[in-house]
Structure 1
Amino acid sequence: MHTTADTPPDCHLAPEARRAGMLHWLAPLLLGLWLTGCASLPSEVDRPVSTALANPAETRLGQLVEARAAQASTRNDSGFALVGSAELAFTSRMTLIKAAQKTLDLQYYAILADETTERMMEALREAAGRGVRVRILLDDFNTSGKNAQILKLAFEPNIEMRLFNPLRGGRASMFFRLLSNLGDAQRMQRRMHNKIFVADNAVAITGGRNLGETYFGQSDGTNFIDIDVLAAGRIARELSQSFDQYWNNPLAYPVQSLMTVKDIDAARPAAGRTSPGSDNNAAEATMPADTAQTAQDRSGSITRVSTAPNGATATIPTLPDSTDLRLLPWTWASSALLVDKPSKIAPDADIAGDPQDTAVDGLLQLMSQAKTDLLIVSPYFVPGELMMKQFASLRERGIRIRVLTNSLASNDAPAAHVGYARYRERLLRMGVEIHEMRAEQESSITSFALFTGSIGSRASLHAKVVVMDSRLLVVGSMNLDLRSQLQNSEVAIVIRNRTLSAQATRMIEPVLASGSYQVDLVDGKLVWHPPQGSGLKDVSVEPDASLGLRLAVKLIAPFAPDEML
């Protein structure tokens, strides 16, 4: 058949021939979907029950916590230190890995395979080699392609790894994983979003961060701005109890019950595969040679040479390996743990007939007791009608409400912005003050003392924090949106302490003043006011967002229900 450059190949074919041509291309796709769709989760799974270290006091970390508590002369049984810098977020975790003597428990929504996490995973291997029991519980959603290589840790001596609520099918492509699970979309939507890191059942870290270079200020693309909290004592033991509930739950599958090392190798992108018998250098596999390399400067410290999309280069100091946690300003305070039960995301959660209070419900109940003001940081902010009623009630009582969330340009999930935008005008009309994070930060801005300002990088808000009445601080994994309330499991720590509340406020308020747009209603229309002294002018459209992005958001808006965003 003759065709020209301006003529589609099959335009003159009979309908039967056109269908045959389509099947020629569709057959491999349908076969792939059939094969992955037929895959099922194993029914008989060996899940040995294990629990947190019974006596933390027998470890150096446990003894350090007891000594610090005695030194503080306090009746409070839990100590805290805020983690607002990317460097401290990384080094504190590395320090706990190196200090652990008995156990390390990690529970995360995502662990991304890159140079930064490879350093952390190598430290975990070393800990396991000296006899530390390592348990890693990971949500299964982000374990395809390159990120699947993290799962090889499950086959290391003294390291156990389980996947929570795993998806059926292969891991070579996220696209095909999602496609093959569309028939079970409701289950696919329910994710374990908890972030917990516990050493020797004595010291823990929780907050908004997953594990990956973009969470530790090392990405050449987008760096997430976040806040964690170090927690010691009784609250760390409660976090361990929560970990154990998830670890021993039927939805937690040992990696070995789902795949082999060969299966994991097969999921790696072709350019990153190693030949049989060769060393598996994960750092080389995940760091393209043309975008980043290591170098040694005159002082002898290791650095990264980063290349931005515009061709500019910058030398970025590599994060240190540890920090002295004894030097941190620990504060002992009364506290409580908000954590969802694993059953929240069970397949039959909606029909079990046993409604449960969620972590977000607990947070909303606390917020309803505000007497003067609320400062809310939530990267994905989709209130829903019930939450809107609560905000209206608070405003009627004269409670000041300030919200810091992402702008459309800084949001890594534009669909979530769709849900937020539906409520923005109503929130402003009731007197809620709204600030939206700027994607492009000035080099002098150290948002949450965290943004490193590497060449070509952008800022995206990822912290989940509430400060109430300058005396109550909440740091956790959940957003103020319906997904966190209804779909995902979450965890947060509530701390009643004015010192820590003031410290968190000092981290956040510079971003409100210098790193965000304040949104306002002028003559009934939205206006974005840039930071004073920035040299920017007021705008009446989503700032820094391209026309294409703004149009895309408008197109998907009618088809995106709040609870799915």
Structure 2
Amino acid sequence: MPPSLTLRRRTLRRGVGAALLVSAALLGATVGGCTSLPENVNRPVSKALPPAADGPLAAFIQQNGSDKPAASVAAPRTTSGFMLIDGPQAAYSSRLALAEQAQRSLDLQYYAIHADASTGRLMRAVQDAARRGVRVRILIDDFHSAGRNALVLGLADTPNVQIRLFNPLAGARASSIGRIVVSLGDMGRIQQRMHNKLFIADNTLGITGGRNLGDAYFGLGGDAGNFVDLDVLAAGPIVQQMSKSFDQYWNDERAYPVESLVDRKEMDRIREKAAESGRSGASGGAQGTPSPPDGEPRPDAQSAAAFGDSKAAQRPGWDEQPMDLKAVKFTWAPALLLVDRPGKIPADEQAKEGPAPAKPDAPHGEMPAGETVVEGVLPLIAQARQDLVIVSPYFVPGKEIRNAFAKARERGVRIRVLTNSLASNDAPVAHVGYARHRTDLLDMGVELYEMRADQAGLRQALGTGSGVTGGMGESKAMLHSKFIVRDGRLLAIGSMNLDLRSQKQNTEIALVVRSTELSAEATSIVEKSLKEGAWKVERDPSAGGALVWRAPAGSGLQDAHTEPDTSTSLRALLWLIGPLAPDSML
């Protein structure tokens, strides 16, 4: 089957799955759940270990210090170190380096950890760290911990490894659909997800951004497509704030130790089913399940290798070697961590009262903070004087964002937004909320760009500068980076989309860094994408103001007058879904 046809069918299937979730949400209030979560769960409190004054990571910080290096990693600073990670290979090798170099602790917090080849190699490095005495804590949002991906939970059998699941759904983990069905009476729990991403070693170096762990996030997604992303490696006092954020979630009542949810018999059944799937050549259970309800895609599992095999991805151009940290050069700058408190997702007894307010931590810097990460980012827009560059794969601007845009345009601020096109969006229903605001945004003077989904776009687009492109075949490129650059001096990068889901339902995390150097680097990356890898959406005066998608110069493509590279059936489906899908659910 031609790859383009395969992608169109998968996109249509995911759209149908998302539509089913929307319908379930509308009907869920009348459906009762069949199972419940355990009560009186034992959650031993633990905290991040202090950063060590010695060890390879501490030595690396001392060697890579600012203009006036500190005497030790624990010495006070007013700045932290940052390096943008702009490609899948660098994203993979940097995490592998942290796992291999850690001496005291590893703290991982993710929305999704997929049980596939590349993550298998990475998790084996985490296991090896635990076996040499490193304390490992892994916190995962519960939504993806079913089917084949539940294999990740088996790491809890390793001494020194603890795993907790955040905001879990009730029911067995053999099927994502089954768990959703038995939870239809609790649609609020299904909708509210922990979207934070952290990878912290020795409380000394940490990685955050938009990337989950899995083949599709490391450029190895095959026909299912690859997510174009941007991360940041951080050092210095900001990492201690990242660890403090992890501790808040780890010790929260919404975080359930895996042993309280999955007994050994169920884990054995999961392993047996995954082994049978691998022997039969099946892809591992992701296909045929509905897209998750948070506006973020679930990549199909493409690897035939079982999670935990001795070798990970064997792909052309792929290198499983850890990053040489000695070659890393940090930019030292003041920074601020914005993080939603876990209480943004209500515990059961708070469900009727609504989420507790969240106040982000501010170790240094002068940025104001709102009640949520997205509201903390809004002042960046409000204070812009010249230029705003916004990258958000799921862009559904609520009233506050639209008002901030309008006021910024009145001040003469240039606003450029890069988001997914319908073709590059792996959760097409999320495109509905963006599309309904598109003409209003254009009329106020916002410049809109939409990611090209084809292979040329992947090679040229945001986030592939130092990554792997060989062996991708006809991969679909899907924008997944989330950052804002204000006036060329301030960069905000993290897990948040500019949509109502990130603002109101999911928990998020973001770094705000005051640095002209990092801002220029991020702007350069996105401007290359705007020029070569994105459609520019405009009003066409010759067609009565209808939308037109301008092809990138030199691409050989023609301008389009409908959503580029999409089928009539997909556009018709979303036209039908649109009236049933409020912005807050997309």
Question: How high is the TM-score relative to the length of structure 1?
Answer: 0.85
| Structure 2 residue 124 is the aligned partner of structure 1 residue 122 | yes
Structure 2 residue ranges without an equivalent (≥5): 1-31, 71-76, 287-300, 306-310, 359-370
Q: Which residue of 2 aligns with 1:40?
A: 36
Structure with the greater relative contact order (CA < 8 A, sep ≥ 6): 1 or 2? 2
| Structure 2 residue 497 is the aligned partner of structure 1 residue 479 | yes
Contact 1:59–1:102 (Cα < 8 Å) also in 2? no
1:390 to partner: Cα distance: 1.1
Alignment deviations for residues 349-387 of structure 1 (CA, whole Å, 9 cap, x no partner) = 661585440010000122210110100000000002221
| Structure 2 residue 563 is the aligned partner of structure 1 residue 552 | no
Counterpart CA distance in 2 for 1:202 and 1:510 is 33
Could you say if the C-alpha distance between residues 558 and 242 of structure 1 is closer, same or farther in structure 2, counting changes exceeding 3 Å?
Answer: same
Contact 1:83–1:229 (Cα < 8 Å) also in 2? yes
Q: Which residue of 1 aligns with 2:441?
A: 427
How many pairs align?
508
Counterpart CA distance in 2 for 1:271 and 1:240 is 33
- One-letter code aligned to 1:456: E
Q: Which residue of 2 aligns with 1:500?
A: 518
Counterpart CA distance in 2 for 1:434 and 1:146 is 38
Counterpart CA distance in 1 for 2:332 and 2:122 is 29
Q: Which residue of 2 aligns with 1:78?
A: 80
Q: Which residue of 2 aligns with 1:342?
A: 342
1:317 to partner: Cα distance: 2.8
Counterpart CA distance in 1 for 2:194 and 2:276 is 29
- The one of 10, 27, 50 aligned to 1:54: 50
| Secondary structure of residue in 2 paired with 1:447 | coil
Alignment deviations for residues 236-283 of structure 1 (CA, whole Å, 9 cap, x no partner) = 110000000000011110000111232123245846349xxxxx99x9
1:147-546 matches, within 5 Å, as 147-220=149-222, 221-267=224-270, 270=273, 272-273=275-276, 316-347=316-347, 348=350, 351-352=353-354, 354-356=356-358, 357-442=371-456, 445=460, 447-448=462-463, 449=465, 450=467, 452=469, 454-523=472-541, 524-546=545-567
Could you say if the C-alpha distance between residues 403 and 349 of structure 1 is closer, same or farther in structure 2, counting changes exceeding 3 Å?
Answer: farther
Could you say if the C-alpha distance between residues 405 and 457 of structure 1 is closer, same or farther in structure 2, counting changes exceeding 3 Å?
Answer: same
- The one of 141, 144, 152 aligned to 1:142: 144
1:445 to partner: Cα distance: 2.0
1:37 to partner: Cα distance: 3.6
| Secondary structure of residue in 1 paired with 2:64 | helix
Alignment deviations for residues 468-500 of structure 1 (CA, whole Å, 9 cap, x no partner) = 000000110000000000000000000000001
Counterpart CA distance in 1 for 2:394 and 2:267 is 32
Alignment deviations for residues 523-553 of structure 1 (CA, whole Å, 9 cap, x no partner) = 3100000111111111110000111111111
| Secondary structure of residue in 1 paired with 2:320 | coil
1:451 to partner: Cα distance: 6.4
Q: Which residue of 1 aligns with 2:308?
A: none
Counterpart CA distance in 1 for 2:240 and 2:276 is 41
Contact 1:374–1:400 (Cα < 8 Å) also in 2? yes
Could you say if the C-alpha distance between residues 191 and 271 of structure 1 is closer, same or farther in structure 2, counting changes exceeding 3 Å?
Answer: closer
Counterpart CA distance in 2 for 1:321 and 1:213 is 16
Contact 1:477–1:491 (Cα < 8 Å) also in 2? yes
Contact 2:146–2:174 (Cα < 8 Å) also in 1? yes
Contact 2:141–2:195 (Cα < 8 Å) also in 1? yes
- One-letter code aligned to 1:41: L
Could you say if the C-alpha distance between residues 530 and 269 of structure 1 is closer, same or farther in structure 2, counting changes exceeding 3 Å?
Answer: farther
Contact 2:459–2:469 (Cα < 8 Å) also in 1? no
Alignment deviations for residues 408-444 of structure 1 (CA, whole Å, 9 cap, x no partner) = 0000111110000010000000000000000003175
Contact 1:69–1:77 (Cα < 8 Å) also in 2? no
Contact 1:343–1:349 (Cα < 8 Å) also in 2? no
1:54 to partner: Cα distance: 1.9
Contact 1:359–1:491 (Cα < 8 Å) also in 2? yes
Contact 1:380–1:481 (Cα < 8 Å) also in 2? yes
| Secondary structure of residue in 2 paired with 1:317 | coil
Counterpart CA distance in 1 for 2:538 and 2:445 is 10
Counterpart CA distance in 2 for 1:303 and 1:163 is 25
1:293 to partner: Cα distance: 7.6
Could you say if the C-alpha distance between residues 353 and 547 of structure 1 is closer, same or farther in structure 2, counting changes exceeding 3 Å?
Answer: closer
Q: Which residue of 2 aligns with 1:30?
A: none
Counterpart CA distance in 2 for 1:177 and 1:451 is 36
Could you say if the C-alpha distance between residues 322 and 362 of structure 1 is closer, same or farther in structure 2, counting changes exceeding 3 Å?
Answer: same
| Structure 2 residue 110 is the aligned partner of structure 1 residue 100 | no
- One-letter code aligned to 2:197: K
Could you say if the C-alpha distance between residues 181 and 55 of structure 1 is closer, same or farther in structure 2, counting changes exceeding 3 Å?
Answer: same
Counterpart CA distance in 1 for 2:379 and 2:312 is 47
Structure 1 residue ranges without an equivalent (≥5): 1-35, 275-279, 295-301, 306-314
- One-letter code aligned to 2:263: T
| Secondary structure of residue in 1 paired with 2:319 | coil
Counterpart CA distance in 2 for 1:410 and 1:70 is 40
Counterpart CA distance in 2 for 1:420 and 1:80 is 32
Q: Which residue of 1 aligns with 2:65?
A: 69
Contact 1:303–1:316 (Cα < 8 Å) also in 2? no
| Secondary structure of residue in 2 paired with 1:550 | helix
- One-letter code aligned to 2:43: R
Could you say if the C-alpha distance between residues 326 and 155 of structure 1 is closer, same or farther in structure 2, counting changes exceeding 3 Å?
Answer: same
| Secondary structure of residue in 1 paired with 2:235 | strand
1:394 to partner: Cα distance: 0.7
1:508 to partner: Cα distance: 1.0
Percent identical pairs in the alignment equals 51
| Secondary structure of residue in 2 paired with 1:520 | strand
Contact 2:33–2:184 (Cα < 8 Å) also in 1? no
| Secondary structure of residue in 2 paired with 1:206 | strand
| Structure 2 residue 89 is the aligned partner of structure 1 residue 87 | yes
Flag the structure with larger Rg. Answer: 1
Q: Which residue of 1 aligns with 2:23?
A: none
Counterpart CA distance in 2 for 1:269 and 1:430 is 57
Q: Which moved more, 1:434-443 or 1:450-459?
A: 450-459
